Amino acid sequence: MMRERLGEKRVSRRWMLGAMGATAGAAGLAALRCSDGDGDSPAPTPTEIENETPGASPTPRQQDGKRGETLRFTGFVARDQTFDPHKTQAGPFYGHQALIYSRLLAYQDQAKGAIVPDLAAAMPEMPDGQTMVFRLNPNARWHELAPLNGRSVTAADVKYSIERQLAGDQSFVRKAQWSVIDGIDIPNERTVTFKLKSPMAALHHLFADVHSFIVAPEVSGDKNDIGSTAQVGSGPFQWVEWVDGRHASVRRNPNWHGGDRRPNLDGVSLVQPASTATVEGALRTREVDAATVGRVLADKLKKAIPQLTETTMGHSQFFGMRFSLGNDPFNDLRFRSAVTIALDRRAMIDKFFGGSGGVNPWVSWPMTDWALPETELTTSPGYRPGAGGRGEDLREARALLEAFKSEKKLKDDLPLFVLQETEAALEFGATIKAQLAESLGLEQVRVVPLPLAELARLLLTGEAPWAAAPDNGWIDLDDWVYPYFHANGTKNSFPLRDAEMTAMIDAQRVELDKNARREIGYNIQRRLLALNVGVNLVSERVVSLAWPYVKGFPLDTADGYQHRFADCWIDQADPTFRGR
């Protein structure tokens, strides 16, 4: 049983390096464990939200069986210090903003890499490898809210959204990803042309990425910051409220450009529960329609409420480690490899996820487009399955450690820096410490839980030679490798300077044949498994549970997919809808 108290905010899923800032974790995933929430004030029920915040519920429409009703589900209502969609890194928050804002393109399926038009009327024209021409959907309009009041979305808005980030200060944390753009032309109000400095394989991803929101210049104000009262977009829903740690809601945008009279729902209401008992009670009484949880709680809830339907999805978020190569003993490949190989990843899956998860190369296993195939991974040191495989791993790890100790003296104290919230919730560092003591006799490990800001500072200054924490995970191959392992990567804090690695990362950026690019990605991961500078250990398979009347509840491998609630609907004719 995990010891996390569900009323507390979840820890970051990102490493907080450089100017990338902080995030607040994934929205409503594995954090819902086995706590009773003792000592916490319970989060309000959806009924209480409606009573406390008049106007939060959208005006009901005439229901026709597929349209109408407000979907209510559980998740995390957590953010970082900003409301700006171009600055936030908080998964739950930019997931909520995905209901509000549009992108030129959007992911229909992140794991499979399926990209479709959003604000664009069609996929972009590419007359050459360094030019992209987007023609905007003529029906795209900003919400009927001040200061935009339903005006058309224009090419000038698109240009502003990209240039705002390129010209911004370091608070615009995705500034570097747009640096490939050499110029932006707007021949007319419905057409925008991007000129690139060089060909780039991940161009479509760049405009479909979960953070690539288009905003209007009217909302940013004199300080070039979009605050809580200026959340006006062109997406399928309109902003209603966000109360940290409690609840958030949106109402239907009746003028959305997505077509087919969507969104079907009148609104979406997100509630952060105080405990698993709260989740069960709210589901049982239909005060919430769906919940996204881990495997252990899912089995408990399905036993209590057999009518619930289940959807599962592997999540790209992962639990990993990183080493600082300038610090002894982590500057020795033998020691890094011994530690990495000795860790029992499958035992972690059992402990953290109730057995519902998978082991990772560098790219998390649910990202099937880019992750090294499991058939190969299970032949690699540290990943071999079964008792025989585990025995082989331990023999290799012990031999590496002995070879290291035959030449060098091991320090008496090996601090392992971890996020204190993660340690309280999952005992991640304690698990690593116990496994290394048992498998290698390594008794020197000392777990050092730290608050987020302090851990970030130590990582930046190189004073945290060994750290372990959860991390968000990403979609495209370039996001997984370039920032972290390229010689010029903005988050390469190891720091890794490997000419072979840099050459491969450069090659995948310009390789336009997907199969060839995938093979380069495999070789990058093989090299990373050999170098053991950053280790992605395990990722979870999460579960959404919903009453059968909920149709099309979206779930994907990372936050930011929530725009797909436009396709979700509540079947009022379903027998389980009675009594809702």
pLDDT tens string 225-246: 999 999 999 999 999 999 999 9
Per-residue pLDDT band at 455 (split at 50, 70, 90)? confident
Q: What is the mean pLDDT of residues 508-517?
A: 94
CA quadruple 176, 511, 124, 213: dihedral, nearest 10:
-30
Contacts for 325-330 with beta carbons within 8 Å, 24 or more apart? Answer: 325/494, 325/495, 325/496, 325/533, 326/462, 326/465, 326/495, 327/462, 327/465, 327/466, 328/408, 328/411, 329/404, 329/408, 329/410, 329/411, 329/414, 330/465, 330/466
Residue given tokens 């003792």 in the structure block: 38
Angle (nearest 5°) at CA 562 between 281 and 121: 155
Q: What is the mean pLDDT of residues 294-309?
A: 93
Alpha carbons within 13 angstroms on the beta-carbon side of residue 461 total: 7
Residue pair 182/168 in contact (Cβ under 8 Å)? The answer is no
How far from the centroid of its chain's Cα atoms is residue 326's Cα?
Answer: 30
- Alpha carbon separation from 400 to 326, 442, 464 (Å, rounded): 20, 13, 23
Q: What is the pLDDT of residue 486?
A: 96
Per-residue pLDDT band at 259 (split at 50, 70, 90)? very high
Q: What is the pLDDT of residue 351?
A: 95
The amino acid at residue 416 is: L
Per-residue pLDDT band at 64 (split at 50, 70, 90)? low
Q: What is the pLDDT of residue 36?
A: 37
Of 403, 361, 402, the closest CA to residue 382 belongs to 361
Per-residue DSSP letter, 231: -
Alpha carbons within 13 angstroms on the beta-carbon side of residue 187 total: 7
Per-residue pLDDT band at 452 (split at 50, 70, 90)? confident
Q: What is the pLDDT of residues 526-578, one digit of tens each?
A: 999 999 999 999 999 999 999 999 999 999 998 899 999 999 999 999 999 99
What is the rounded distance in angstroms from the CA atom of residue 2 to the CA atom of residue 37?
A: 12
What is the rounded distance in angstroms from the CA atom of residue 230 to the CA atom of residue 221?
A: 9
Asked whether residue 47 carries a pLDDT value surpassing 70, the answer given is no
What is the rounded distance in angstroms from the CA atom of residue 432 to the CA atom of residue 345?
A: 10
Residue given tokens 């040191």 in the structure block: 381
Strands (E), 212-258: 237-243, 247-252
Per-residue pLDDT band at 79 (split at 50, 70, 90)? confident
10 Å Cβ neighbour count for 359? 21
What is the rounded distance in angstroms from the CA atom of residue 510 to the CA atom of residue 532?
A: 26
Q: What is the pLDDT of residue 51?
A: 40
Q: What is the pLDDT of residue 577?
A: 95
Direct distance between the N- and C-terminal alpha carbons of the chain, in angstroms, rounded to an integer: 32
Query: Whole-number mean pLDDT of the chain?
Result: 88
- Alpha carbon separation from 421 to 356, 429, 450, 469, 477 (Å, rounded): 22, 11, 8, 10, 29
Domain edges within the chain: 18-56+63-312+543-577, 318-540
Max intra-chain CA distance, the chain: 78
Residue given tokens 């800032």 in the structure block: 21
Q: What is the pLDDT of residue 32?
A: 35
Residue given tokens 């239909």 in the structure block: 286
CA quadruple 424, 429, 431, 435: dihedral, nearest 10:
-170
Q: Considering the domain 18-56+63-312+543-577 in this protein, what is its CATH number?
A: 3.40.190.10
Q: What is the pLDDT of residues 306-318, one digit of tens each?
A: 999 999 999 999 9
Which range among 50-54, 138-142, 480-484 shows the weakest confidence by mean pLDDT?
50-54
Asked whether residue 31 carries a pLDDT value surpassing 70, the answer given is no
Residue pair 196/180 in contact (Cβ under 8 Å)? The answer is yes
Residue pair 314/365 in contact (Cβ under 8 Å)? The answer is yes
Sequence-ordered alpha helix ranges (H) in 255-385: 276-284, 295-304, 333-342, 345-353, 374-377
Per-residue pLDDT band at 61 (split at 50, 70, 90)? low
Asked whether residue 52 carries a pLDDT value surpassing 90, the answer given is no
Asked whether residue 8 carries a pLDDT value surpassing 90, the answer given is no
How far from the centroid of its chain's Cα atoms is residue 348's Cα?
Answer: 20
Q: What is the pLDDT of residue 432?
A: 98
**Based on C-alpha coordinates, what's the Rg of the chain?**
24
Helix (H, G, I), strand (E, B) or coil at 361: coil
Q: What is the mean pLDDT of residues 54-66?
A: 53
Crossing angle, helix 333-342 and helix 386-407, to 10 degrees? 150
Q: What is the pLDDT of residues 116-133, one digit of tens each?
A: 999 999 999 999 889 999
Asked whether residue 329 carries a pLDDT value surpassing 60, the answer given is yes
Q: What is the pLDDT of residue 165?
A: 95
Per-residue pLDDT band at 62 (split at 50, 70, 90)? low
What is the rounded distance in angstroms from the CA atom of residue 361 to the CA atom of residue 363?
A: 6
Q: What is the pLDDT of residue 60?
A: 52
What is the rounded distance in angstroms from the CA atom of residue 417 to the CA atom of residue 457?
A: 12
| Maximum average pLDDT range among 171-175, 189-193, 324-328 | 189-193
Asked whether residue 35 carries a pLDDT value surpassing 80, the answer given is no
10 Å Cβ neighbour count for 55? 11
Class of domain 318-540 as given by CATH: alpha beta
Crossing angle, helix 276-284 and helix 295-304, to 10 degrees? 40
The residues facing 467 across adjacent strands are 322, 417
10 Å Cβ neighbour count for 145? 16
Per-residue pLDDT band at 197 (split at 50, 70, 90)? very high
Q: What is the pLDDT of residue 41?
A: 38
